[in-house]
Amino acid sequence: MSISLLTFGCRLNAHESDSMAHYARQGQANDAHETDTIIVNTCTVTAEAERQARQAIRRAHRKNPEARIIVTGCASERNKAQWAALPGVQRIVPNADKMTPALWGAHSATPPPSRHIRALLQVQQGCDHRCTFCVIPFGRGDSTSTPLEEVIQRGRILSEDGHHEIVLTGVDLASWRIDDQGLGFLCHRLLQEIPALHRLRLSSIDPILLDPDKGDRLLWDLIANEPRFMPHLHLSLQAGSDLILKRMKRRHNTTRVAALIARARQLRPTIGFGADVIAGFPTETDELFNETHDFLLEQQIPFLHVFPYSERPNTPAARMPALPKAIRQERAAQLRQVGDTNRALFLSRFIGDETTILMESATTGHTPEFANVQLEDSQHSTRGMLQPCCITRQNNDGTLLARTIPS
């Protein structure tokens, strides 16, 4: 009998699905079920994500009516009855329980080997903030931090498994905290305890964590002085207009973010920036949109993830006067163009440079700054290898081309 996964939403969900599959297969070995099992890991960030999951469940049931369907994730967390009523659904697993090996019949709690070259390491869960557009806290609960020793042990296993890069992830990574120590402390200890680890990268962070005045000093120290701490910061920015940031109930403003970016570039000139941005938030006039557009252009942020605003039920933003969907889409397209312009400028600076690529296939990989690189001609390397290269030119699709340097 088979175990299959249907995963929706963020890479945290993808990471958790890998673990659930691992534990469920162990459980299957211990106590074989008579039928196939389909685990659906749902997302509630947009209405579309929920619609796709419901559609996938109906399709899976039509295709295999005998299969038992188990649903978990942020969408079913918010409305258990609705998801339990879907055809073939036999169980709803709370988000807080889905990573419990015993729940899937597994006897050992050894996490699965990572199938990603850049290995994800979840260190934080949930969120204590209440941004006006967001429902994640209602799906994932309050913020919790994985104990330091557990993170170090997991990091060691990943490094011993041959992973040269670890990416720390969480729902609100910036909230990792044990006693009065923050994320900078955790990163310092990880790099200290695992000298063989070549690269430590952060996934999306709240800009408030790196506020130049009241931010995490140990993190600034790593940015300035630690070559193994990757010069790439993906900011959960959301907008480049202070009035919109206020209406989103975000904790940063454009002046502080501009100061953060300027300081990081001073300390680490090649540093790469990414940002999540919502286009067409309720009450966003043309003027307010232009503020975001111009801010992203001024700050030259190359890696933009732009999302047209999507109402989420029972959020304060859903009660604000909304913009037509067409305008949201149009503005999102304009901001993506800003991203393309910024990225072309950013990538052009690396031409002629020698650098090391972490190969994610035999011909593609990422620089420390998170630039996407393709090896030239028919050059090949090895997946998972740190490959010395010389950047030769830039492609039109936002990638760089490189020639390997014999080591």
Smaller CB distance to ligand SF4: residue 125 or 356? 125
Residue 142 beta carbon to ligand SF4: minimum distance, rounded to whole angstroms: 11
Q: How far is residue 81's CA from residue 84's CA, in Å, rounded to a whole number?
A: 5
Residue 137 binds to ligand SF4 (criterion: CB under 6 A)? yes
Smaller CB distance to ligand SF4: residue 92 or 173? 173
Count residues near ligand SF4 (CB under 6 A): 9
Smaller CB distance to ligand SF4: residue 155 or 170? 170
Residue 358 beta carbon to ligand SF4: minimum distance, rounded to whole angstroms: 28
| Burial per residue of 328-354, b for 16 or more beta-carbon CB atoms within 10 angstroms, e otherwise | beebbebbeebbeebbeebbeebeeee
Smaller CB distance to ligand SF4: residue 130 or 325? 130
Residue 42 beta carbon to ligand SF4: minimum distance, rounded to whole angstroms: 16
Please count the helices (runs of H) and the strands (runs of E) in the chain.
Answer: 12, 17
Residue 172 beta carbon to ligand SF4: minimum distance, rounded to whole angstroms: 5
Q: How far is residue 154's CA from residue 145's CA, in Å, rounded to a whole number?
A: 14
The angle formed by the CA atoms of residues 188, 192 and 195, to the nearest 5 degrees, is 130
| Residue 192 contacts residue 221 (beta carbons within 8 Å) | no
Q: How far is residue 157's CA from residue 136's CA, in Å, rounded to a whole number?
A: 30
Residue 136 beta carbon to ligand SF4: minimum distance, rounded to whole angstroms: 4
Smaller CB distance to ligand SF4: residue 129 or 349? 129
Q: What x/- string results for residues 141 through 180 when contact with ligand SF4 is judged by CB under 6 A?
A: ------------------------------xx--------
| Residue 238 contacts residue 250 (beta carbons within 8 Å) | yes
Residue 129 binds to ligand SF4 (criterion: CB under 6 A)? yes
Residue 209 binds to ligand SF4 (criterion: CB under 6 A)? no
C-alpha distances in Å from residue 252, one per residue of 136, 305, 320, 382: 19, 18, 21, 42
Residue 131 binds to ligand SF4 (criterion: CB under 6 A)? yes
What pairing do the DSSP bridges indicate for beta strands 37-42 and 118-122?
A: unpaired
Pick the stretch among 132-140, 146-154, 162-170, 350-358 that binds ligand SF4 (CB under 6 A): 132-140
Pick the stretch among 134-142, 256-264, 387-395, 399-407 that binds ligand SF4 (CB under 6 A): 134-142
Smaller CB distance to ligand SF4: residue 257 or 358? 257
Smaller CB distance to ligand SF4: residue 136 or 257? 136
Smaller CB distance to ligand SF4: residue 293 or 312? 312
Residue 237 binds to ligand SF4 (criterion: CB under 6 A)? no
Pick the stretch among 63-71, 77-85, 125-133, 260-268 that binds ligand SF4 (CB under 6 A): 125-133
Residue 134 binds to ligand SF4 (criterion: CB under 6 A)? yes
Q: Is 157 helix (H, G, I), strand (E, B) or coil?
A: helix
Residue from 21, 136, 168, 235 in contact with ligand SF4 (CB under 6 A) = 136
Main-chain dihedrals φ then ψ at residue 169, nearest 5 degrees:
-140, 160
Residue 116 CB contacts under 8 Å (≥ 6 apart), including other chains: none
Smaller CB distance to ligand SF4: residue 129 or 189? 129
Give just the sign of the alpha carbon dihedral 12, 13, 19, 22: negative
Tokens 């680490």 appear where?
A: 268
Q: Is 356 helix (H, G, I), strand (E, B) or coil?
A: strand
| Residue 157 contacts residue 203 (beta carbons within 8 Å) | no
Contact residues: ligand SF4, CB under 6 A: 127, 129-131, 134, 136-137, 171-172
